[in-house]
Amino acid sequence: MDAFSNLATGFAAAASFQNLGFALIGCLLGTLIGVLPGIGPIPTIAMLLPITFGLDPLSSLIMLAGIYYGAQYGGSTTSILVNMPGEASSVVTCMDGYQMARKGRAGAALSVAALGSFFAGCVGTIFIAAFGPPLAALAQQFNSPDYFSLMLLGLLMAVVLAHGSVIKAIAMVIVGLLFGLVGTDVNSGAVRYTFGVSELWDGIDFLPMVIGMFGIVEIIRNLEEKEVDRTAISTKFRDLWPSASEFAQSWKPVLRGTAVGSILGILPGGGAVLAAFAAYTVEKKVAKDPSRFGKGAIEGVAGPESANNAAAQTSFIPLLTLGLPSNPIMALMMGAMMIQGIQPGAAVMTSRPDLFWGMVASMWIGNLMLVVINLPMIGIWVKLLSIPYRYLYPAILMFCVIGVYGTNANAVMMILTAVFAVFGYIMVRFGCEPAPMVLGFLLGPLMEENLRRSLVLSRGDPMIFLQRPISLTLLICALGLLLVIVLPNVRKSREIAFQEGG
């Protein structure tokens, strides 16, 4: 196949001593910022952009890409260790990863996350090499109505995320949608629910919300519990590595997560965000015993982690083949290419094959490096957990606030963090989980925009959602998922009614 000779070109370009060095720097830096909450890849890449002026284009892109997936890896680490997601895609990892850590299986969770990600990264790379252009063509078929239907499907997945009450999860999704609307309305330019605070014009920032609702709430809850003796956590190799049964439980989720992530990653907009959530939904639905989810099911780590890494790889496809960035980080990469005088797009493939395929090859190299860097670190991370909590939590809190502040140096961000911490805490006490709300928050603006656009295009005719095959298919999936959610619930409430009657 042609893809292989191309990949060979790529490896020849990417495996130069210099490029390997930059890949390593990127991966190390990415892991570091991923582990330090809040300092996401976006500010880091932005900070490094000027440095890349002086570099060869391929080297600079390799380094920046390394930061991107390094940060993905690192973000999962904090999710598992301290319930603190650095980015949208690691919110899902919190749910079961952190629970595993609480049960003393942090090592296993981290290993599975690393290995799953590596596998997904490999597949993602091959995917780009083999199917990049046709997949990009598929992504181009997505019109506004299709996006709306995709978002609707995504929101239903958010409901499946919850392990408690379905109706509360639905309510939280709607509240998330509402929070997502704060700020300037794209269609009309109107400013909504900002209460005169200009910092809110661009909407509520993601970090204050998740750091508040996940990281801070977790600290408060831990403080309420009696301090457990954590020095007993074992860091023996046997206990860091997943057990045979954990392996057996993980490999299928890794495969499924990779598939889900590779496909959703190509879609510009919410695609990559949806990947981890979708993978979790799939795992929970195929599991024999869904009640284990949210309590430390290893499938809930393996699936989403593979998915988000696969999506991280395939999200390069629209940029590399169409010249269209699919998320803010891709927009940054595009900026980096343009500074170097390269106009991203399919033309790069023919005019600079060494650059295009070199980048693809560097993705695989980067993933390999990450696994090599991260596996030995797992012991250190787990060891960190054995520090008494009374020393640990003030430091975690400090990292949380610096992270939030680092993205937007502004006291309003701290107030938002505090507000969301209190809100999240109250809602947890009332039995409502934050994860569905976060997904609603992320998808809300996209959903509204595309709904409104579709209806303008159809002059108010809702049939537009049924006339397009992609949209129709997605809506049918959504309906199916809805039935899957509602049916067992109806049965359950009947049982409850029955018990009460009896």
The CA-based angle 348-352-356, given to 5 degrees, is 65
| Least distance to another protein, CB of residue 257, Å | 27
**Of the two residues 290 and 335, which places its CB atom closer to another protein in the complex?**
335
**Of the two residues 234 and 467, which places its CB atom closer to another protein in the complex?**
467
Cβ atoms of 310 and 121 within 8 Å: the answer is: yes
The whole-angstrom separation of Cα 428 and Cα 419 is: 14
| Least distance to another protein, CB of residue 45, Å | 7
Q: Exposed/middle/buried for 326, CB within 10 Å: 0-12, 13-18, 19+? A: buried
**Of the two residues 272 and 365, which places its CB atom closer to another protein in the complex?**
272
**Of the two residues 173 and 282, which places its CB atom closer to another protein in the complex?**
173
- Nearest-CA neighbor of 22 among 49, 69, 55? 55
**Of the two residues 46 and 248, which places its CB atom closer to another protein in the complex?**
46
Residue 208 is encoded by which pair of tokens?
A: 């204050």
CA distances for 64 relative to 49, 307, 430, angstroms? 8, 21, 43
**Of the two residues 187 and 234, which places its CB atom closer to another protein in the complex?**
187
Q: 239-268: string of b/e by CB count within 10 Å (b at 16+)? A: bbbbeeebbebbeebbbbbbbbbbbbbbbb
| Least distance to another protein, CB of residue 132, Å | 14
| Least distance to another protein, CB of residue 461, Å | 8
**Of the two residues 61 and 123, which places its CB atom closer to another protein in the complex?**
61
The whole-angstrom separation of Cα 86 and Cα 73 is: 10
Q: Which residues are 184's β-sheet partners? A: 191
**Of the two residues 376 and 431, which places its CB atom closer to another protein in the complex?**
431
- Nearest-CA neighbor of 36 among 349, 399, 416, 288? 399
| Least distance to another protein, CB of residue 111, Å | 26
| Least distance to another protein, CB of residue 499, Å | 10
CA distances for 142 relative to 98, 146, 398, 499, angstroms? 36, 6, 42, 48
| Least distance to another protein, CB of residue 92, Å | 23
| Least distance to another protein, CB of residue 333, Å | 8
Cβ atoms of 360 and 129 within 8 Å: the answer is: yes
Q: What is residue 188's three-state secondary structure?
A: coil
